[in-house]
Amino acid sequence: MKKTFRNVLLALLLPFSLSTGHATGSGMTPLPDPAGLQLASVHAVVAPLHGGTTLYTKFEDRPVPIASITKLMTAMVVLDSGQSLEEWLPIVEREDAPPKNSFSRIRPGSEARRGDLLRITLMSSENLAAYVLARHHPGGREAFITAMNDKARTLGMQQTRFVDPSGLWPENRASASDLLKMVRAAYAYPEIREMSTDSNRRVHFRSPRYGLDFGNTNALVRGSRWTVDLSKTGYLNEAGRCLVMVADIGGEPIAMVLLDSFGTRTPLGDAGRIRRWLETGSGGTVAGAAFDYERSRAAALAGAGAAAGQ
C-alpha cells in the first residue's frame, strides 16, 4: 500500500494529464477520487506539501475566521525578526481587551525566554505568550501586526487579514487556499516544525521562579500511528474547530487545512478520514452532530455563493 501511494504522489508531480491516472511499469495508478472523501470540516484543502496537483478542496476560497491558526504567522514573524530566542522577556499585562476569554496561567511580572514563549504559543496555543512576543517586537505590537500582514502579502495570501497575533479576534480571516500557502512557508522553518509538534514541555520562569507544564493541543502528535511534521489547532465560536498540519502519509508529506467543524476531536477525525482516503480510496463517513453542522454550514455557503452569482 505504501508503494502504491508513493506512485500516486509521483504522478501528481508529472506534467501529464491526470484525469485517467499515471502510466507506470505496472499499469495505471489512479488518483484518489474526491467523491470518496467526506469531511466534517466546512472548508478544506489537502495537497502534497511540496507542490503538485491539489488532492482535495472544499469551499477553499472563502475568507473565514481562523482563530489560533493565526499563531503560525506569529511564529514566522518572530523568527524573521532575528531576535534572540534566549532573551528573557518580561510578562506584561494585556493592554487590549480581547472579545474572548484569554485566561493564562503565566504570571504577569515574571520573565520567560523568547524561545519558550514561542514554543508554548505553537504547541499549547498560549494566548498571553503570543501577545508578549508581539509586544517585544521592534516597534511594538502594532509593528508586529503590520509585519504579519506584510508577510501574508509576500506569500500571496490575498484573502487574509490579521488584527492580532493570537487569533482571539474573529477579524483574523483567511481562506483555506491561503492557509495552504502559509503552511508551506511555515514548514521551511525548522523551529516551527519542532516546536509545533512537541508533545509536552515544562517551561521555567523567573522573577519569581516557577515552572509550568504544557501539552500539545493536537493529540495526534502523541499517537504512534502518526508522524506529524507541523501542527496548529484553533477554536473560536465564529471559526469552529480548526486544524492545519503536515503529516507523513505513505512516505510523503501531506498538508491538510481543515476549518470550521463541530466538536473538539472532529478535525482529528477528518485527518484520519483523509489518511484512510489516500491509502484506500475511501475515507468513511461523518456521523451525528458533526455531519448536521457541516451540512447546515455548507448549505448556507452554497446559497450565499449562488446569491452572489458565483
* Catalytic site positions: 68, 71, 125
* DSSP code per residue over 33-92: PGGG---SSSEEEEEETT-SS--EEESTT--EE-GGGGHHHHHHHHHHTT--TT-EEE--
Grid cell 489547532 is found at 233
CA-to-CA distance for 178 and 91, rounded, in angstroms? Answer: 32
List Cβ neighbours of 224 (8 Å cut-off, separation of 6 or more).
Answer: none
Three cell numbers at 20?
Answer: 485517467
Closest CA to 274 of 287, 255, 292, 288: 255
Residue 191, exposed/middle/buried by CB under 10 A (0-12, 13-18, 19+)? middle
Closest CA to 196 of 132, 255, 251, 124: 124
Closest CA to 235 of 170, 288, 161: 170
CB 70 within 8 A of CB 172: yes
